[in-house]
A and B are shown apart, each in its own frame.
Chain A
Amino acid sequence: MTSLTINGKAVELEVDPRTTLLDALREHLKLTGSKKGCDHGQCGACTVLLDGERVNSCLVLFAGCDGQDVTTIEGLKDGDELGAMQRAFVSHDAFQCGYCTPGQICSAVATLKEVERGDASAVTADDGDIHLTRLEVQERMSGNICRCGAYNNIVDAVMETGGAALQTEAAE
């Protein structure tokens, strides 16, 4: 039996030990928002937040998630309303077919957090100052393939959401 929290709710489930977190979500818990694009950790469509960090849920065994906290695309809503990143994806048309989108959005939410806490990326300058630039967003979002090619709009959505969050913080 694996006990964990998914989108704020306690979940207990016993599955075949070979079951990935992704397949548990999709096939057993009816949380089909997380997508299977490759099942090899190569496309990012299955990205979820595990204890707040983004992971490819196709590379995580469900049985190993005991005691952990999972947030999927279904958990990023703000009550009945779309969350800020979800709204930005709609207004910037940051998707077309929508299949990579839940993974992109989970990845984008984690990207903002990583930038804010100062995690360096491959494009961060050696002097260490990290800002939410287009290049930083592009680099950090390159693990999420969008075959429809909405990349420009994805960057716009992440930039806007990041900017809005920073402004809110400054106002407090």
Chain B
Amino acid sequence: MNDIIKGKWIGKPLDRVDGPLKVSGAATYAAEHDIDAAIGFIVEATIAKGTIASIETANAEAAKGVIAVLTYENAPKMAPWGDGADDRFEQSHGVLVDGTIRHYGQPVALVIAETLEQARHAASLVAVTYDEQAPALGVDRADSELAEGLDGGFEPTNRRGDFDRAWAESDLTVDLNYTTPHMIPAAMEPHSAIAEWDGERLTVRNSLQVIASGVACLANTFGIDEENIRVLSPYIGGGFGSKLGQHYDTILAAAGAKKLNRPVKVVQTRRNLFHAGPHRARIEQRIRLGATRDGTLKAVNFETWSTQAIGYFYTEGPMASAASAYRCDALHWTGKTRQANETLNDSMRAPGEALGGVTFEAAIDELAEKVGMDPLEFRLKNEPTEDPASGKPFATRDLVECMKRGADEFGWADRPKEPRSRREGRKLIGYGMASAIRGNMMQEGSCRIDLSAGGHLTVKMDMTDIGTGTYTILTQIAAEALGLHPDDITVDLADSDNPATAGSGGSFGAGTSGSALWNACIALREKLARAGGFNIDPDEIDFDEGTMQAGDRAVALADVLKDSDGFSAEGSIKPGEEHEDYVQNSYGAHFCEVAVDMDSCEIEVRRFVSVFSAGRILNRKTAHSQCLGGLVWGIGGAIREELWMDERTGGYVNRDLAEYHVAVNRDVPKCDIIFLENPDPKSNPIGTKGIGELALCGAGGAVVNAIYNATGKRVYDLPVTLDKLL
């Protein structure tokens, strides 16, 4: 266990260090860098599959202010989509390479003009005809194959135990078919980029969660060396998975800038992003569960069918929610998919568990009811001692503690249990609960720190802050380790010239970058200790308020620094054996109250109590906000969000924020969020676990279970909108 962390800065609810910039409009997002750039506007394909028969650009080129119209006939050379790497974030994202259309909304031209108004108008003058082919769209179980792998590192199949036997031995079973819809991350900042070339050197300012793989993508796309590419994303207006990789904004801005030898800015419109941005696939799910009369879970079988974009190998696995949840004799799953002419199906916040946390937790609720047990009691009874999917030990396990604490805070035992048994006027009131489990991942990362002779520390890495609070928690980690005040620390992120990290994604950002920084600080402590004349283990020296102290001896850092050139150190981290030998998860439990109008079936989420265990909490304020955001997503996913595909064209019909409903302020009650702060030494040197996605996992499950409890009606086709309750 880490003894150096005393909690002077780590854990404190420090205000965000970038807060003043963000609330005054002074934080510079991707499209806002003061660069004199021409403006590019995307022309979208209006078919899902086929080839361009003709593309007429003369009218657009003749329009006022237009500088160039890029099409596959004149665009700078790019490698075909998918070339260069197996990793989907590193592979070529070449566009305008040839006349082939893989999905509706694919860019077929970029109109570049002096102003946005000119570019937008001229884009409407580009005329395209197509040789259309019948697209593959939507889930087709018969045409599906086993996925290459499932997101989160899960195999596409799991065959632990004898399912047929466990199923046969079950007294009570459920066999349920769910569908979860296409969804879109819809980060508030649209995908935006400004690109400029200086000879062979490309500089891109964009909105990107992972810098290093984004550099590799540009290298593969344009056939240039990574050394000649610089990517900067200092402020990112939300990501939620949609900015893990480079997308059309960046590729087209770079192509346009190369063509013009002048900076080009491309901001994808919100409507364009619904088709030419990543989103979550629609998934059909079959869940079979069996238990004995005493409530012992025997059999779990979780099958899914989804789709992949052409040449983009990504499959989400909702069965992740079953992997570590409950003890059973047999746990089987199968994830199937097929390549379809859909827009990029990709990661969206808490891939896997965001969906399984609804469907699997609803199925467990239904089985518990069949057995005649309280759903909380059923979960407690089936608490596993080893990971059900793999048989490996858990690094830590405090799901039961989360559930019991949440039940107490919520008053779960006192609720009316019978469905449709509580009314307030014309409102039906219901209560639901679900567990939260999310895999705790670690990645590789490195960091450099420089302490100046004047005592100011600069932290450098290519890590990003997508709103999670990275700037702030890294400041706190360095302050804690080195005994500096946060005002004396500058965190410099999201620049590909800095040491590489895995960026922000999969809730691994804080643990990975924080540990790399921690290790750099440990190395710096040793250098400072030696320079200060200490010959003892640096871990025994207390670094606090600019002083190193051990026993009676105290040395001011200023005295060590004043005649020096400053001190620097590097640190790195990679997942160790403890991420191989143990199953690592963050845990939580949700309790929810809803009111459903008996006449209109309007659903109101009235109360949420959630308890989370995510290791050491680095900042209680920003951690609370992360979890709050997860609950909002859980509510939106359960009752609001759904993209409708027109399966004739492959386009989405509700492609804007008026028709695609995310949760708004009035959808969200005052939420009660509680942390069990149990540092996990097996996770990483600072004892943290992933927190950015945890709260979303199971939150929707608690909502739909509460809706059932209120109305007596189970809905299997998500989201649970009021029309399905009428």
CB of A147 within 8 A of CB of B24, answer no
Q: Given A35-B188, A39-B269, answer yes or no on A99-B29 (Cβ-Cβ < 8 Å).
A: yes
Interface-located stretch among B52-60, B232-240, B408-416, B585-593? B232-240
Bound CA–CA A144/B468 (angstroms):
20
- Asked whether B28 lies within 8 Å of A149 as measured between CB atoms, the reply is no
Q: Is A32 an interface residue (CB 8 A)?
A: yes
In contact, B656 and A42 (Cβ under 8 angstroms): yes
B166-188: contact bitstring with A at CB < 8 Å (1 yes, 0 no)?
Answer: 00000000000000000001111
Query: Residue of A at shortest CB range from B240?
Result: A147
Bound-complex Cα distance A146 to B187 (A) = 9
What CA separation (Å) do A19 and B121 show in the bound complex? 12
Q: Could you mark each residue 114-131 of chain A with 1 if its beta carbon is under 8 Å from any beta carbon of chain B, else 0?
A: 000000000000000000
In the complex, chain B residues 455-478 whose Cβ is within 8 Å of any chain A Cβ: 466-469
A55 at the interface (CB under 8 A from B): no
- Determine how close the nearest CB of chain B comes to the CB of A158; give it in whole angstroms: 10
Residue A57 interfacial (CB < 8 Å) = no
Asked if A36 contacts B190 (CB within 8 A), the reply is yes
Beta-carbon nearest neighbor of A18 in chain B:
B117
Interface centre among A34, A102, A143, A152 (most CB of B within 10 A): A152
Instruction: Identify the closest chain A residue to B239 (Cβ).
Output: A97
Q: Please, which residues of chain B bring their CB within 8 A of the CB of A87?
A: 23
B25 close to A32 (CB less than 8 A): yes
Query: Is B668 among interface residues, defined by CB-CB distance under 8 A?
Result: yes
- The residue of chain B having its C-beta at the shortest distance from the C-beta of A95 within the complex is B22
Alpha-carbon separation in the docked complex, A90 to B347 (Å): 30
Cβ–Cβ contact A139 & B188, under 8 A? no
In the assembled complex, which residues on chain A have CB atoms less than 8 Å from the CB atom of B22?
95, 98, 101
B726 within 8 A of A: no
Answer whether residue A4 sits at the interface, using C-beta atoms and an 8 A cutoff. no
A171 to chain B, nearest CB (A): 26
A130 vs chain B, min Cβ distance (A): 17
A74 touches B (CB below 8 Å):
yes
B672 nearest in chain A by CB position: A152
B625 touches A147 (CB 8 A): no
Tell me the dominant secondary structure on chain A's binding face.
loop
A70 in the interface, Cβ–Cβ < 8 Å? no
On chain A, the number of residues with a Cβ less than 8 Å from chain B's Cβ atoms is: 61
Chain B, 621-637, contact with A by CB distance < 8 Å: what is the 0/1 string? 11011101111110000
Whether A35 contacts B189 in the complex (CB less than 8 A), given A26-B32, A77-B24, A150-B628, comes out as: yes
Chain B residues near A138 (CB-CB < 8 A)? 665-666, 668
Q: Return A143 CB to nearest CB of chain B, in Å.
A: 8
Distance A42 CA – B274 CA, assembled complex (angstroms): 15
Q: Cβ of A96: which chain B residues have Cβ within 8 Å of it?
A: 238, 467-469, 622, 625-626, 629
Contact B187 A97 (CB under 8 A): yes
Name the interface residues of A21-46: CB closer than 8 Å to any CB of B: 23, 26-27, 30-40, 42-43, 45
Residue in chain A with minimal CB distance to B660: A42
A142 contacts chain B at the CB level, 8 A cutoff: yes
- Asked if A134 is at the interface of the complex by the 8 Å CB criterion, the answer is yes
Contact among B115, B267, B621, B670 for A93, CB-based, below 8 A: B621
B550, CB-defined interface residue at 8 Å: no
A161: min CB distance to chain B, Å: 12
On chain A, the residues within 8 Å of B28 by CB distance are: 32
Q: Does B662 sit at the interface, judged by CB under 8 A?
A: yes
**Pair A148/B23 contact, Cβ less than 8 Å:** no
Interface pair B190/A98, CB less than 8 Å apart: no
Chain B residue nearest to A143 in the complex (CB) = B664
Q: Could you tell me the distance in whole angstroms from the C-beta of A89 to the nearest C-beta in chain B?
A: 5
| Cα A74 to Cα B27 with chains together (Å) | 11
Give chain A residues whose Cβ lies under 8 Å from the Cβ of B31.
Answer: 26, 32, 36
**Which chain B residue lies CB-closest to A87?**
B23
In the assembled complex, B555 has its CB within 8 A of some CB on chain A: no
Cβ of A112 within 8 Å of any chain B Cβ, yes or no, is: no
Is the Cβ of B23 less than 8 Å from the Cβ of A90? yes
* Contact assessment for B235 and A98 in the assembled complex, using a CB-CB cutoff below 8 Å: yes
Interface residue B88 (Cβ < 8 Å from any Cβ of A): no
User: Which of B11-19, B97-105, B136-144, B311-319 has 4 or more CB atoms under 8 Å from chain A?
Assistant: B11-19
Q: What chain B residues lie within 8 Å of A23 (beta carbons)?
A: 116-117
Interface membership of B645, Cβ < 8 A: no
Q: Indicate if B34 sits at the interface (CB-CB under 8 A).
A: yes
Chain A contacts for B622, CB-based, 8 A: 93, 96
Residues of the B chain whose Cβ atoms lie less than 8 Å from the Cβ of A135: 666
**Cβ B631 vs Cβ A31 within 8 A:** no
Residue of A nearest to B608 (CB): A152
Mark interface residues in B19-62 (1 if CB within 8 Å of A CB, else 0): 11111111111011010000000000000000000000000000
Decide: A151 and B668 in contact? CB cutoff 8 A: yes
Inter-chain contact A37/B190, CB cutoff 8 Å: yes
Q: Does B34 contact A149, Cβ atoms closer than 8 Å?
A: no
A170 to chain B, nearest CB (A): 26
A13 within 8 A of B: no
Q: Does B118 count as interface, using CB distance less than 8 angstroms?
A: yes
Residue of A nearest to B27 (CB): A98
Task: Give CA–CA (A47, B40) in the complex, Å.
Answer: 25
- A49 partner residues in chain B, CB cutoff 8 A: none
- Residue A153 at the chain B interface, CB threshold 8 Å: yes
B662 touches A147 (CB 8 A): yes
Say if the beta carbon of B561 comes within 8 Å of chain A: no
Do residues A99 and B16 form an inter-chain contact, with CB atoms below 8 A?
no
Question: Of A77, A96, A145, which is in contact with the most chain B CB atoms at under 10 Å from its CB?
Answer: A96
Most buried by A among B236, B657, B662: B657
Closest to B664 in A: A142
Tell whether, in the assembled complex, residue A102 and residue B25 are in contact, meaning their CB atoms are under 8 Å apart: yes
Roughly how many angstroms separate A139 CA and B22 CA in the complex, as a whole number? 24
Most A CB contacts (10 A, CB to CB) among B18, B20, B622, B626 go to: B20
- CA of A108 to CA of B33, assembled, Å: 27
| CB of A105 within 8 Å of the partner chain | yes
Evaluate contact between B632 and A151: CB separation under 8 angstroms: yes
Task: Return B605 CB to nearest CB of chain A, in Å.
Answer: 12
Q: How far is the CA of A12 from the CA of B590 in the complex (A)?
A: 55
Chain B: minimal CB distance from A112 (Å): 15
Asked, given contacts A95-B23, A99-B237, whether A151 binds B190 with beta carbons under 8 Å apart, the answer is no
Known contacts A82-B20, A97-B236, A145-B664, A33 near B25 by CB under 8 Å: yes
Q: Is A110 an interface residue (CB 8 A)?
A: no
A26, A98, A152: the one contacting B671 at CB < 8 Å is A152
- Alpha-carbon distance between A96 and B624 when the two chains are bound, in angstroms: 11
For residue A76, give the distance in angstroms from its CB to the closest CB of chain B: 8
Q: Check if A100 is an interface residue, CB within 8 A of chain B.
A: yes
Whether A148 touches B666, Cβ cut-off 8 Å, given contacts A93-B15, A93-B622, is: no
Q: Which 7 A-B pairs have the closest CB atoms?
A: A33-B25, A97-B467, A149-B632, A99-B237, A98-B22, A149-B629, A96-B467
9 contacts between A and B (CB under 8 A): A31-B25, A34-B25, A89-B23, A93-B621, A98-B21, A142-B664, A145-B188, A145-B662, A155-B670
Known: A93-B15, A148-B238. 17 other contacts (CB 8 A): A16-B117, A32-B25, A36-B31, A42-B270, A73-B23, A86-B24, A93-B19, A96-B468, A97-B188, A97-B189, A98-B467, A99-B29, A99-B238, A100-B188, A139-B665, A148-B467, A153-B625
